[in-house]
């Protein structure tokens, strides 16, 4: 719904822009008509008419060649900076082809009138042109005015068209459920986003990921159904996000990694709500892989955010009692937490432990005993390893506090086995800490 609204707003702005831009040649034409007729500039002799028409045809041809050359150079520079796929919107630009068509018609018509003046002496009267010839010449003048003034809105149009954000909007309109069955509609946008990451172009990167997120959320929420269709689209989407997230992590950019992770989380939560198991599994896997790379590059904020986003998906899955998906989430958080402990990233380690606690408590409230046991086991593993690495934030005190909260919630819900296991782990970690 959000992406549809944005598309409609964009189209409305484009229509207003096009109408306003048309006023420039129309106003110029009106002024030129008044000036030429009121000033009696159209009455001329044969030689002057020939000279002026010849000059007009040559100058229009030169301008057309310059405009086409500069436009293609600008498109080529944009394509080399981001992706060859950015040429698509330019090729589909009606303004570009309309301008070329107008210039070609004007040049040909001017040459035709020039030829007629040279060929038919009956058009002259006492060295001056008759009414029919003057009419044809005046049309050439007015067409020239239109061609020249049309360069102003065309230049503004090119500035907008070659803006990466505008290109992304154009390419986003091709992202539909059916388009995945024929080609990969995300490829052009992803290439542009990766090029933006390499150039540290945050605005374009956010714009690209935002458009992908909006379109894919709409597709997964309203259009896609379970089965092969879901599996195919899910793999394409999350493969792109994994590669993009890893690239951002390798560049050492926390903010851009966060953008990719948040995009995966939005889609993952929708998949959990609709019980789209393939998409849910791929979303969890993508966040885990990006999070582990972020840990390796010691991007602590992104690492912690990966664990937090997994927790959000896990809580949503727990509310739908999707135990297999929750187990995958817990396993992914544990891997990120253990990797963070190994790299001695205290905040990320604590965040992973906290997220496991939240999932454990939610699972206990939903009476999902197996999930509670998995959360407790993962917490214990992180706590023991953190104690060995002497990490204060994720030390035994925090872990024991988290385990205690899970155990109390499990006891309140009368989950005897889960409550017992939590309390045993609680004391086990206490004893381990006392021995050390």
The DSSP secondary structure of 344-370, one letter per residue, reads T-HHHHHHHHHHHHHHHHHHHHTT-HH
Among 400, 408, 405, 409, which residue's Cα sits nearest to residue 428?
Answer: 400
- Render pLDDT for 417-436 as a digit per residue (tens, 0 to 9): 555 555 555 545 555 554 45
Q: Strand pairing partners for 125?
A: 128
Per-residue exposure over 159-185, b if at least 16 CB sit within 10 Å of its own CB, e if not: eebbebebbbbbbbeebebeebeeeeb
The model's confidence at residue 413, banded by pLDDT at 50, 70 and 90, is confident
Per-residue exposure over 19-36, b if at least 16 CB sit within 10 Å of its own CB, e if not: eebeebbeebeeebeeeb
Among 176, 188, 206, 191, which residue's Cα sits nearest to residue 90?
Answer: 188
- Render pLDDT for 223-246 as a digit per residue (tens, 0 to 9): 777 778 888 888 999 999 999 999
What's the CA gap between 364 and 35, in Å, rounded?
A: 85
- Render pLDDT for 52-106 as a digit per residue (tens, 0 to 9): 888 889 999 999 999 999 988 888 887 777 767 677 777 777 888 888 998 999 9
How far does Cα 398 stand from its chain's mean position? 39
* Cα→Cα distances 345→113, 340, 351, Å: 80, 5, 10
pTM over 0.95: no
The model's confidence at residue 38, banded by pLDDT at 50, 70 and 90, is low
């Amino acid at each position: 719904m959000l992406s549809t609204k944005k598309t409609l707003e964009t189209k409305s702005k484009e229509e207003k822009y096009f109408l306003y831009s048309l006023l420039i040649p129309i106003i110029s034409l009106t002024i030129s008509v008044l000036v030429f007729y009121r000033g009696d500039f159209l009455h001329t002799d044969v030689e002057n008419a020939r000279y002026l028409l010849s000059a007009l045809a040559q100058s229009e041809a030169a301008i057309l060649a310059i405009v086409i050359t500069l436009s293609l150079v600008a498109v080529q520079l944009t394509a080399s900076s981001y992706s060859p796929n950015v040429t698509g919107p330019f090729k589909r630009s009606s303004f570009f082809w309309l301008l070329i068509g107008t210039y070609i018609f004007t040049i040909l018509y001017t040459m035709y009138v020039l030829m007629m003046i040279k060929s038919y002496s009956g058009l002259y009267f006492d060295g001056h042109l008759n009414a029919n010839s003057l009419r044809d010449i005046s049309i050439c003048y007015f067409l020239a005015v239109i061609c020249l003034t049309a360069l102003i809105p065309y230049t503004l149009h090119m500035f907008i068209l070659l803006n990466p954000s505008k290109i992304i909007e154009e390419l986003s309109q091709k992202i539909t459920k059916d388009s995945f069955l024929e080609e990969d509609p995300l490829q052009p946008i992803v290439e542009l986003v990766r090029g933006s990451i390499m150039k540290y172009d945050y605005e374009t990167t956010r714009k690209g990921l935002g458009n992908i997120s909006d379109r894919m959320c709409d597709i997964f929420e309203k259009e896609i159904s379970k089965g092969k269709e879901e599996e195919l689209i899910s793999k394409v989407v999350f493969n792109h996000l994994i590669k993009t997230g890893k690239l951002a992590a390798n560049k050492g950019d926390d903010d851009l990694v966060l953008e990719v992770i948040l995009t995966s989380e939005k889609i993952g939560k929708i998949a959990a709500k609709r019980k789209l198991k393939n998409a849910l599994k791929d979303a969890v896997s993508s966040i885990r892989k990006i999070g582990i790379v972020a840990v390796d590059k010691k991007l602590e904020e992104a690492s912690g955010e990966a664990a937090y986003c997994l927790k959000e998906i896990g809580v949503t899955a727990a509310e739908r009692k999707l135990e297999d998906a929750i187990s995958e989430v817990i396993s992914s958080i544990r891997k990120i937490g253990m990797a963070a402990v190994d790299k001695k990233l205290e905040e990320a380690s604590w965040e992973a432990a906290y997220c496991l606690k939240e999932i454990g408590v939610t699972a206990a409230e939903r009476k999902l005993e197996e999930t509670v046991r998995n959360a407790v086991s993962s917490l214990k593993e992180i706590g023991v390893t953190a104690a060995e690495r002497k990490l204060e934030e994720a030390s035994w005190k925090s872990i024991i506090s988290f385990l205690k909260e899970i155990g109390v919630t499990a006891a309140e819900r009368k989950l005897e086995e889960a409550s017992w296991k939590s309390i045993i782990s609680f004391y086990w970690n206490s004893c381990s800490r006392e021995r050390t």
